[in-house]
Amino acid sequence: PGRFGGSEEGRGKTIVIDYSSPNIAKPFHLGHLRSTVLGHAIRKLYESLGYKVIGVNHLGDWGTQFGFMLAAWQRWRQDAEARIARGEGEIDVFVSLYVRINQLAQEDPSVREEARSWFRRLEQGDREARSLWQYFVDRSKREFDRIYAILGIHHESDAGESFYEDKMQPGDPDKGGLGFPLILKSDGGTTYATRDLAAAFYRETTYHPERIVYVVGAPQTLHFKQLKKILELMGEPWHEKLVHVPFGQYIGMSTRQGNVVFLDEALTEGRRVATEAAESATKKQDLGPAEIAENARKIGAGAVKFFDLKNGRMKDIQLENNSAGKIDLSLITATKGETGPYVQFAYARLSGVLRNYGKEPTAAGVVFSLLGEPEANKVLKAIGEHPAKVRQALADFEPSIVARHLLDVADAVHSFLHVHRIMDSATEKVDPKVREARALLVGCARKVVGQCLDLLGIEPLEKM
Ligand code: ARG
């Protein structure tokens, strides 16, 4: 009894997906948000076909930039701590220190030397350097975890770049027509590419996966081509397993706002939508304050996810600013149109219809010819496409196929319910056999809508 559109073809097979992967002491920006949301949807697609998924958060927690961070912290620690104590965001403070130390290094070359020596200490496991670095890691992770909790996202592993520190052997790959990324610096230091090479080996030997998928923005396309080519030149047949899934970017707003502000504002807006929906329907709904608050989080997160996932992944996503210069969220959280609240509302509506019906619809004894109306046919057709849509979405790494399909099912069933009744009204009686057939149709539509929401990482709401 698997789910409709699911399969067992992936049974016994493992997929590694690298997604989200933000950088320590740097903002979690909208590119990371896209990677998080897309990567999560892709893992859901794999899971629905029976694969075991290892989600990896390849945190950017290593590299010479940490030498600069430590040098900056040593110089300006008091000032930084005072700013944090006054309520300034920790990551904002870290970023400003990093900018400041780099400016200083432009004027004063000894600062560069100082940073290099800090990084060397870090590499050598010096206690002071390690504990300062750990502080940045802990504080950054705390912020990332806050975001993941809102989004309902998790990883099986957060082996970041530093994890591979002791897993890097010198290599000597040839050119291969893609240029030559620096693998080992003259002073023995490693690079982003070295660490990705080590990570690929680790993933291959630890998990023996079918595929190693990287959900990372389009600007890193060359990096992943090089990575794959190097493995090929090293004679590793499993280089074939590497797949880079690139995506477009958010455009149309300043970078100042370009990070969590978007997420936080969408959540606030989601809260407003949820409260309003509950208030305007007090007769039909009996939602308590705790339920409303939980719905608010789900609606806000769902709005952000659907807004992202309804677009073909290579498309840039245009954000509009309103007259106050802030991101205009009305399109994202509207209850009508192609939005998260709309698809969640569809699920809540179908759930409500079935609550009124009062029992679990079943196919036993249903006279299917009673579903001959054109509106019913549309629903049946949309539902019937479900398994093929799921497969196509995974084959193309394109969750937007699920999102569009979800809109089709939701539209079709809304139109059906607009014209046809299930329960009697004061003026219209419904034949019990017709009621049974329609309830089954609604029950199936609800299942498909629920599965699509789940594939997109959007939490369903029974009541809204
Ligand atoms: N930390 C990188 C960035 O923010 C993304 C890492 C993606 N994953 C990888 N294995 N390179 O750009």
The residue whose CA has the least distance to atom 12 of ligand 1 is 22
Q: Average of pLDDT values for 446-452?
A: 97
Asked if residue 15 has pLDDT above 70, the reply is yes
The pLDDT score that the predictor gives to residue 324 is 76
Q: Which atom of ligand 1 is nearest to the CA of 224?
A: 11
The residue whose CA has the least distance to atom 4 of ligand 1 is 22
Q: Does the beta carbon of 226 lie inside 6 Å of ligand 1?
A: no
Instruction: Give the per-residue SS3 of the chain.
Output: CCCCCCCCCCCCCEEEEECCCCECCCCCCHHHHHHHHHHHHHHHHHHHCCCEEEEECCCECCCCHHHHHHHHHHHHHHHHHHHHHCCCCHHHHHHHHHHHHHHHHHHCHHHHHHHHHHHHHHHCCCHHHHHHHHHHHHHHHHHHHHHHHHHCCCCCECCCHHHHCCCCCCCCCCCCCCCCCCCECCCCCECHHHHHHHHHHHHHHHHCCCEEEEECCHHHHHHHHHHHHHHHHCCCHHHHHEEEECCCCEECCCHHHCCHHHHHHHHHHHHHHHHHHHHHCCCCCCCCHHHHHHHHHHHHHHHHHHHHHCCCCCCCEECCECCCCCECCHHHHCCCCCCHHHHHHHHHHHHHHHHHHCCCCCCCCCCHHHHCCHHHHHHHHHHHCHHHHHHHHHHCCCCHHHHHHHHHHHHHHHHHHHHCCCCCCCCCCCCHHHHHHHHHHHHHHHHHHHHHHHHCCCCCCCCC
**Ligand 1 pocket: which of 19, 21, 158, 201 to mutate (most atoms <8 Å of CB)?**
21
Asked if residue 306 has pLDDT above 50, the reply is yes
Active site residues: 26, 29, 32
| Per-residue pLDDT tens digits for 436-445 | 999 999 999 9
Q: Does the beta carbon of 58 lie inside 6 Å of ligand 1?
A: yes
The pLDDT score that the predictor gives to residue 172 is 56
Asked if residue 354 has pLDDT above 70, the reply is yes
| Per-residue pLDDT tens digits for 312-348 | 999 999 888 777 777 788 888 888 899 999 999 999 9
Asked if residue 211 has pLDDT above 80, the reply is yes
Q: Does the beta carbon of 61 lie inside 6 Å of ligand 1?
A: no
Q: Does the beta carbon of 262 lie inside 6 Å of ligand 1?
A: no
| Per-residue pLDDT tens digits for 233-260 | 989 999 999 999 999 998 876 555 455 5
> Which residue type, as a one-letter code, is found at position 60?
G
State the Cα–Cα distance between residues 221 and 213, nearest whole angstrom. Answer: 13
